[in-house]
Chains A and B, each alone.
Chain A
Amino acid sequence: MSEQEFFVEPDLNFIKDIQRAGGGDLKKCFQCATCSVVCNITPDDSPFPRKEMIWAQWGQKEKLMSDPDVWLCHQCNDCTANCPRGAKPGDVFAGIRSASIKALAFPRFMGTLLSNPGLAIFAWAIPVVVLLIMISLFPAIYSVLPHNLNPHSFFGEMVYQFKNAGWNNMPAGPIKWTNFYPELGIDMTFITLLALGIIALAVGLYRFWNTMTENHGETGLTGTPVPNLIEVTPTILAHERFMECDTSKNRYYGHLGVFYGFTGALVTTALVATSFWLFGISTPYTIAEHGVLTVVVKFIGNLSAAAIIIGGIVLWVQRASFKKSSSSYFDWTLIVLVTGLGVTGLATELVRVADLKSIAYPVYFIHLTFIAYLFLYLPFSKMAHLAYRSVAMTFARQTKRDFASVEEIA
């Protein structure tokens, strides 16, 4: 060890953030390093999680929120299962990630909103209010749109959808989602929410990258991020890291289901959007009219919903059954969101098929709320792990840290 002086400035609030977000037992750690040894994912050089445990005890906020290792961890919980002190490094890491997302959040208050269980009601109220306001604005939107278009033409129909949209349409006519929430309204609302989410996420990632380079880039970076991101993508897609877990083996299947369920949902959305904007084909599809497109969209869509729901349940059961670990508000919010998205999506389809007019649009509204929550809070909820972990893995590769993946690719 070098003899250089090191002035420790603990950030007590950061310690509390970690403790609140699952790392309540972090001070039980007595630095035996069992965790670093039993971890199948850590590199041999400066392995985790032992060093992060002492950083957390000492409130080393800068070191932790800039630490790629915190994200290389996939929470197998092999460390927690073997910890001789019950310090639960797996949970502490979840807590550090949660506290880091909060600390890197732009704008900052959003980090607070999403990490505090006491504010959950407000966090859920915002998407609801946004959607309600949008719906109440439909007549006003209709009034400013041109009314001289043929109502059966592509653009004419899009305009016409605004005329009686919203709750007024509820009991009458066949269930047609655009009668409730017009096509253009969906795109305006959700593209805006997603754009806000992505911009905020980009700022967070930018901060993250800079602080990583500053605090953990001493070995130097090779190459640029994009090729390295491309190189780590197969590892991410194949869930290779999850396969290395011993204690929480089943999380591999759960996460795989949810991950590809979301990917499938994205593909479905892209297909529908492309068909609509490029080819003027609007939903609902019928086999008679749209043939292959109907089969493909229905197949991928339903399969994705099933994957999300089953994957979500697997993750849920896995969390509940590993008694040594506890799950924080941050964890449960994501699981509720994921399963909720799947279940409400499926319910939306079922009420339409069953023609349950009285509840159809409220069910659809709930589903839209979940999507709005997902998009708007992308950078602040646990969903952000998708981006932070990918970026951290890229950084690790660029600093030649993630040895395992280098070997695998070579």
Chain B
Amino acid sequence: MTEGKSLGSILVVGGGISGLTAAIEAAETGYDVYLIEKTPSMGGRVAQLNQYFPKLCPPTCGLEINYQRIRKNQKVKYLTLSEIESISGQPGDYEVTIKVNPRYVNENCTNCNACTEACPVERPNDFNLGIDTTKAIYLPHQMAFPMRYVIDGKACKGADCGKCVEACKYNAIDLNMKPETITLKVGSVVYATGWNPYDAGKMENLGFGRVKNVITNMMMERYAANNGPTGGKIVKPSDGEAPQSIAFVQCAGSRDENHLSYCSYICCMASFKQATYVRERYPDAKIYVYYIDLRAPGRYEKFLNRVESDENIEFIKGKVARIEEDPETGQVIVEAEDILGGGKIHQKVDLAVLATGMQPTTAESKLPGILKYDENGLILEDENTVGIYAAGCAKKPADVTTSVKDATGSALKAIQTMVRR
């Protein structure tokens, strides 16, 4: 488009669906964009899903389209393993410093996997939420972008071991890589720092970590995904067998002033969706959904109606407030009051799925720059401040569609900052 002279640069922090969208939308209007991502691969939480709304397609399609757009567009410069450290200046003229952590693997990597085979060290696989492990040198996941291996510096034994270096025929591994700090000049910043699943271990009464067959909804996505730890088989963690009965525990941490005081927006739909995963794989399985209120925003109501009409899926109004393990059968006992039927239920199921909510990554560590947060760490939009914006789940819990729309809006805001200068 514009030859030579730059219109200005925008920094997008976070390479999930919101950040990818904001970056490419801005770049396609002619602006230079730096997209930085903390982990070794773009894709964020969406990449971990089996299917996502509204069309229940695998995340491959949505992400791959964005990766293609980025690959074709010279305006987007992206960095993985990178975090923003500081920001100074004013709207239109910021100087940001970025810490780039070492990948220990350079662009010579051909993804041949020889290093992984040679590596003696295992680490919990965070992409699969700890359900399985990877080697210390690994490919982040099957659809990683960039498609390049990485070494977990904390797990790797370093030069003392060096087995991967020996195994690599392409001279792609450099165990001596050091963190670098780079400085960028940008006109505006978009924070698309996203969310973490709320730590299920914090709800002591729900037994996560104590009762073996209690998993979270994000773990369920990984079990159901073909590129997941079980190749798409939904199983009980205790014995790898197929569950015949499953309880979905809604509002596990959300709408609770002791945990997340807000509704996480997506968990009802996520559980309805996951109920369909189970129904497809195990047509006889019995499913129980325990809820306070069923929230199917807007047109999602249709999806709820579909799930409700399934006679194998039972909806019980009443929050699960206690989960124990049956010492005799190893089954999960979920306890709730059936408000409409009147009575406390002690339902035995093979698997319980905690519909944990979305916690902004900014709940724990705040970002550089002048930003306002609410009491939950969500970034508050402020009409009067210009130059630094937030997009997607950094601001409020949202589904993919909403996040994408919001990211496009944020890209426009970021552009406006520079045009109005």
Chain A interfacial positions (CB closer than 8 Å to B):
1, 30-38, 42, 44-47, 50, 82, 84-86
Question: In the complex the two chains form, is B343's CB within 8 Å of A37's CB?
Answer: no
A36, A82, A84: the one contacting B337 at CB < 8 Å is A36
Bound: A44/B340 CA distance, A = 14
0/1 per residue, B348-364, Cβ < 8 Å to A? 00000000000000000
Question: In the complex the two chains form, is B342's CB within 8 Å of A32's CB?
Answer: no
Question: In the complex the two chains form, is A85's CB within 8 Å of B343's CB?
Answer: no
Bound: A288/B49 CA distance, A = 88
With a cutoff of 8 Å between Cβ atoms, the chain A residues found around residue B255 in the complex are: 30, 32, 84
B6 in the interface (beta carbon within 8 A) = no
A31-B339, A37-B318, A37-B321 known; 16 new pairs, CB 8 Å cut-off, are: A31-B292, A32-B251, A32-B255, A33-B319, A33-B336, A33-B337, A34-B319, A37-B319, A37-B344, A42-B344, A45-B344, A47-B344, A50-B339, A84-B251, A84-B257, A84-B258
Question: In the complex the two chains form, is A34's CB within 8 Å of B342's CB?
Answer: no
User: With A30-B292, A37-B335 given, is the CB distance from A46 to B322 under 8 Å?
Assistant: no
For residue B292, which residue of chain A has the nearest CB? A32
Question: In the complex the two chains form, is A82's CB within 8 Å of B205's CB?
Answer: yes
B256, B320, B336: the one contacting A84 at CB < 8 Å is B256
With a cutoff of 8 Å between Cβ atoms, the chain A residues found around residue B259 in the complex are: 84
Of A36, A45, A82, A86, most buried by chain B (CB within 10 Å of CB) is A36
With a cutoff of 8 Å between Cβ atoms, the chain A residues found around residue B292 in the complex are: 30-32
With a cutoff of 8 Å between Cβ atoms, the chain B residues found around residue A47 in the complex are: 337, 343-344
A30, A31, A38, A45: the one contacting B321 at CB < 8 Å is A38
Question: In the complex the two chains form, is A37's CB within 8 Å of B336's CB?
Answer: yes
Chain B interfacial positions (CB closer than 8 Å to A):
205, 251, 255-259, 292, 318-322, 335-337, 339-340, 342-344, 346
Question: In the complex the two chains form, is B343's CB within 8 Å of A44's CB?
Answer: yes
With a cutoff of 8 Å between Cβ atoms, the chain A residues found around residue B335 in the complex are: 37
With a cutoff of 8 Å between Cβ atoms, the chain A residues found around residue B346 in the complex are: 44
Question: In the complex the two chains form, is A33's CB within 8 Å of B318's CB?
Answer: yes
Bound: A46/B255 CA distance, A = 24
* Smallest CB separation, A67 vs chain B (Å): 15
* Smallest CB separation, A325 vs chain B (Å): 14
* Smallest CB separation, A196 vs chain B (Å): 42
For residue A34, which residue of chain B has the nearest CB? B321
Question: In the complex the two chains form, is A50's CB within 8 Å of B257's CB?
Answer: no
Bound: A271/B335 CA distance, A = 51
For residue A31, which residue of chain B has the nearest CB? B339
Bound: A51/B13 CA distance, A = 48
Bound: A50/B259 CA distance, A = 20
Question: In the complex the two chains form, is A33's CB within 8 Å of B321's CB?
Answer: yes
Bound: A42/B343 CA distance, A = 11
For residue B256, which residue of chain A has the nearest CB? A84
Question: In the complex the two chains form, is A36's CB within 8 Å of B257's CB?
Answer: no
* Smallest CB separation, B344 vs chain A (Å): 4
Question: In the complex the two chains form, is A37's CB within 8 Å of B337's CB?
Answer: yes
B320, B321, B340: the one contacting A1 at CB < 8 Å is B340
* Smallest CB separation, A161 vs chain B (Å): 61
For residue A46, which residue of chain B has the nearest CB? B342
With a cutoff of 8 Å between Cβ atoms, the chain A residues found around residue B256 in the complex are: 84
With a cutoff of 8 Å between Cβ atoms, the chain B residues found around residue A42 in the complex are: 344
Bound: A157/B319 CA distance, A = 71
A30, A35, A46, A82: the one contacting B343 at CB < 8 Å is A46
With a cutoff of 8 Å between Cβ atoms, the chain A residues found around residue B336 in the complex are: 33, 37
Bound: A33/B342 CA distance, A = 11
Bound: A1/B335 CA distance, A = 21
* Smallest CB separation, B363 vs chain A (Å): 18
With a cutoff of 8 Å between Cβ atoms, the chain A residues found around residue B342 in the complex are: 45-46
With a cutoff of 8 Å between Cβ atoms, the chain A residues found around residue B344 in the complex are: 36-37, 42, 44-45, 47
* Smallest CB separation, A127 vs chain B (Å): 43
With a cutoff of 8 Å between Cβ atoms, the chain B residues found around residue A31 in the complex are: 292, 339
* Smallest CB separation, B279 vs chain A (Å): 27
Bound: A34/B253 CA distance, A = 12
Of B205, B258, B335, most buried by chain A (CB within 10 Å of CB) is B258
With a cutoff of 8 Å between Cβ atoms, the chain A residues found around residue B205 in the complex are: 38, 82
For residue A43, which residue of chain B has the nearest CB? B344
Bound: A32/B255 CA distance, A = 10
* Smallest CB separation, A254 vs chain B (Å): 25
Bound: A82/B321 CA distance, A = 9
With a cutoff of 8 Å between Cβ atoms, the chain A residues found around residue B321 in the complex are: 33-35, 37-38, 82
9 smallest CB-CB distances across A and B, nearest first, come from: A84-B256, A37-B321, A33-B337, A44-B344, A32-B319, A36-B337, A34-B321, A32-B292, A33-B318
